[in-house]
Amino acid sequence: MKIIVAIKQVPLRDSPLHPDSSGKWIDETDLGFEINEPDAYALEEALQLKEKHGGEVVVLCAGPERAAQTIREALAKGADRAIHITADDLGALDTLGVAKLLAAAVAPEKADLILTGLQSDDLGSGQTGVVMAELLGTPHSTIIMQVETREGNIRVKRELENGWFQHIEMPLPAVLTMQSGSNKLRYATLMGIKKAKSKEIRRVTPAELGGAPTAVATIEKVYLPQKSKQTQIFEGDAKSAAAQLVEKLKFEVRVL
């Protein structure tokens, strides 16, 4: 079974976020980066499927030079090779543009399964996998917890709202967007890290993939949200802040 895992590199979870001088995106200088968390679960699912059924896991990532680090980490965890769509100006594209590049890189691979996270922790549009499936002409399903492979098709467990689930069957090839938490994530072993150094990372440019259309959806401005509710913040050391809070809970909220 040949599986492609589309991953994205995003700022570290606790990064301080400030708009840059253009006001249209965040200032990325001094930020650290890591794999988008749901994509890490997609990678884990792919590696487990490979362990069960054999085959190949190919990592696909579009991003600037720095994304190479995240790609190496995925190879160290056990992916066989990688495709890096190198571009510094992906921020100028919208979901359709990025999905077009990813789909163009995926198409010649003739993979059985394409996995990605259900959404990115930065843009959070939650659409890249679905749009990719449409462009590739394959069926898809989203927010997937489990994948069962069968002869020529798969049966997946999809998460619905409020604690409901559903199984869905569909033919291969297919695109699935994976929910976080469905598996336990592995760490790279020392051997894995060593092996990753000699694994292939094929670099391609957007131009080599036929380019991407001009964005139809553009971010005009990013900013800190305006607070709609007045939060009363208790200052002072831990003991005094805690005492002030308890006073409120006892005499105003009346729960103590």
3-state secondary structure of 157: strand
CB of 184 to other proteins, least distance (A): 8
Q: Does 187 bind other proteins (CB under 8 A)?
A: no
Binding window for other proteins (CB under 8 A); candidates: 44-52, 59-67, 94-102, 192-200: 94-102
Q: Which of residues 46-75 bind other proteins (CB under 8 A)?
A: none
The distance of Cα 218 from the centroid of its chain, to the nearest Å, equals 20
Q: Which of residues 120-159 bind other proteins (CB under 8 A)?
A: 121-127, 130-131, 133-135, 139-143, 159
Phi first, then psi: what are they for 53, rounded to 5°? -115, -5
Choice from 60, 96, 102, 106 touching other proteins (CB under 8 A)? 96
Q: Does 256 bind other proteins (CB under 8 A)?
A: yes
Cα 102 from Cα 108, distance rounded (Å):
11
Choice from 167, 194, 202, 203 touching other proteins (CB under 8 A)? 167
Q: Which is nearer to other proteins, 73 or 94 (CB)?
A: 94
Task: Report which of 168, 95, 167, 162 is spatially closest to residue 134, judged by C-alpha positions.
Answer: 95
Q: How many CA atoms lie within 13 A of 220 on its CB side?
A: 0
Task: Report which of 30, 32, 170, 168 is spatially closest to residue 114, judged by C-alpha positions.
Answer: 170
Q: Does 250 bind other proteins (CB under 8 A)?
A: yes
Q: Does 221 bind other proteins (CB under 8 A)?
A: yes
Cα 254 from Cα 239, distance rounded (Å):
20
